[in-house]
Structure 1
Amino acid sequence: MKKIICIMFLWFSHSVSAQEKPYVSIKIQNIKQAKGNMRVAFYKKGSAFPKEGSITYAKEAKVNQAGEMIFNFTDIPYGEYAIAVFQDKNQNQKIDKNLVGYPTEPFGFSKNFKPKFSEPEFSDCNVVISPTTNTFTIKLID
């Protein structure tokens, strides 16, 4: 009987934790060159988006082909986030910018927000990870 109770407890605990952290997929489009690494960063609501030191979750992978890449996450809890991506072509672990501060490497944001004169605000790029919506597409700007 104790074994059955333990098994039921473990199963219930696993199903509860699986509900707290859904499967999230980020499709990145408009990759022009198979060069460097692609970095995807999630910023939780209330963070200093899009500052490097405020990243809540991130993943990086080598760019093996032009076209598109897909990143999958299983460790991000439900909630409101902004997503920033960039292709680190020279692999220096930062997004390079020109003299006026505009990125010289391909980049993009959730909601495909295109900044005009300054960095975006969180509200320009916010998305909600929920039980029903967990796939997001970001087109790189270069």
Structure 2
Amino acid sequence: MLRSTASLFLLLLLAVVLAASKPLAQPAQLQIQILSVEKNNGKVVVEIYNAKADWLKKPFRRVTLAPDDNTKKAVFDVPYGKYAVSIYQDTNENGELGMNFLQIPKEPIGFGNNYKPFGEPKFESALIDHGPASKPAAIKLYSVF
């Protein structure tokens, strides 16, 4: 009896130690479906941001996709949380979003929640939730002009 109680205690202690050694924020797949891609034109750049101070300056994660179809999927292995999403199609392949003299995008763009800003895009408006029950976000690219 004493031996089985000691064994049970050791098993519980081992379980607690193993559970405590596990990282708290496990990465999970954040999936973003990009719609209205101009097929075979440049490349699609998908950026996610986890901090307002970095918004449109320094992405948390970035992926570049070939525009070989009108619909593309970006996948990020990131912890659950809220992420602001910015997408553009770099049609001239110069590595940045093309803007006109008024700083209005000349290339197709899209933001989280299919937010269409009037003026400079806001971090809070482009946030999407990434959690265990989240479905892939579907974001449609659009041209301002």
Normalised by the length of structure 1, the TM-score is: 0.79
Q: Does 1:132 align with 2:138?
A: no
Identify the residue that residue 73 of structure 1 maps to in structure 2.
Answer: 76
Identify the residue that residue 60 of structure 2 maps to in structure 1.
Answer: 56
Unaligned segments of structure 2, at least 5 residues: 1-10
Normalised by the length of structure 2, the TM-score is: 0.78
Superposition deviation, residue 19 in structure 1? 6.5
Unaligned segments of structure 1, at least 5 residues: none
- Point out 4+ residue stretches in structure 1 off by more than 6 angstroms: none
1:87 pairs with one of 78, 81, 89:
89
Identify the residue that residue 103 of structure 2 maps to in structure 1.
Answer: 101
Tell me the SS of whatever aligns to 1:47.
helix
| Residues 79, 128 of structure 1: 8 Å contact kept | yes
Tell me the SS of whatever aligns to 2:99.
coil
Identify the residue that residue 112 of structure 2 maps to in structure 1.
Answer: 110
Distance in 1 of aligned mates of 2:137 and 2:23 = 23
| Residues 38, 67 of structure 2: 8 Å contact kept | no
CA gap 1:18/1:58 in 2 versus in 1, 3 angstroms: farther
CA gap 1:17/1:38 in 2 versus in 1, 3 angstroms: farther
Q: Does 1:45 align with 2:48?
A: no
Paired amino acid for 1:88: D
Distance in 1 of aligned mates of 2:73 and 2:61 = 16
Tell me the SS of whatever aligns to 1:31.
coil
- For residues 28-84 of structure 1, give each alpha carbon's deviation from its aligned partner in whole angstroms, at most 9, with x where no partner exists: 001133211111000113333123xx210110021113x21111222x111111000
Identical aligned residues as a percent? 25
